[in-house]
Amino acid sequence: MRYSANHKMETREKLLASSAASAKTLGFSTVGVDGLMKAIGLSGGAFYSHFSSKDELFKAIVERELAQSLDRLSGEGAMDQAKLARCLKQYLSMSHVEQPEVGCALPVLGAEIARSDEQVRDVAQTWVCRLHESWARVLGSEALAWAILSQCVGAMVVARMMAAPEVQQEVLESSRAEITLRLAGLD
């Protein structure tokens, strides 16, 4: 049975969304092709009509997820310090800690991206640099934009490592407070 091009695109998007959520929850390398396809109700063999390899899927996931992060963290409309502060507050939140499958890919997939081939790292670099450029324009400092971006990702990693919610909250609040002080110094 032949499927329409639209059906193939819809299936590919389902596979990307499902695989991204799985990767952000369990890690990308832990789930095989059969498991990824089973999650959307298809056989493992159907995978290769969408991607030539699992590495190609990972590259597509990285691009999709980081593009979405860029949209959420610098998004539509004029970016100013107030909007940046609101984005950072949402990013450094317990709901982001507790729901990695719907949050930023960097804290959960950063180590896997770093171990990936150059193509995956190039895709990640493109999107992270776009976010950095957006923040640097608002902050008036490339160095400060890198520092805040790195602190946010690091704070999420550390908060998720902690077992006690009160310690997770302390990590997030401390990071928000320090970033807020830096942003207040720009006025």
Interior CA angle at 42 toward 38 and 47, to 5°? 95
Query: Residue 50: what pLDDT?
Result: 87
Of 140, 143, 1, 13, nearest in space to 68 by CA: 13
Q: What is the pLDDT of residues 44-77, one digit of tens each?
A: 888 888 899 999 999 999 999 999 988 888 765 5
Distance CA 67, CA 173 (A): 26
What ranges in 39-105 are assigned the alpha helix state H? 54-74, 81-91, 94-98
Residue environment code for 53-86, b if the CB has 16+ CB neighbours within 10 A, otherwise e:
ebeebbbbbbbbbbebbbeebbeeeebeeeebee
Q: What percent of the chain has pLDDT over 70?
A: 95
| Per-domain residue ranges of the chain | 54-184
54-184 CATH: 1.10.357.10
Q: What is the pLDDT of residues 14-35, one digit of tens each?
A: 999 999 999 999 988 888 888 8
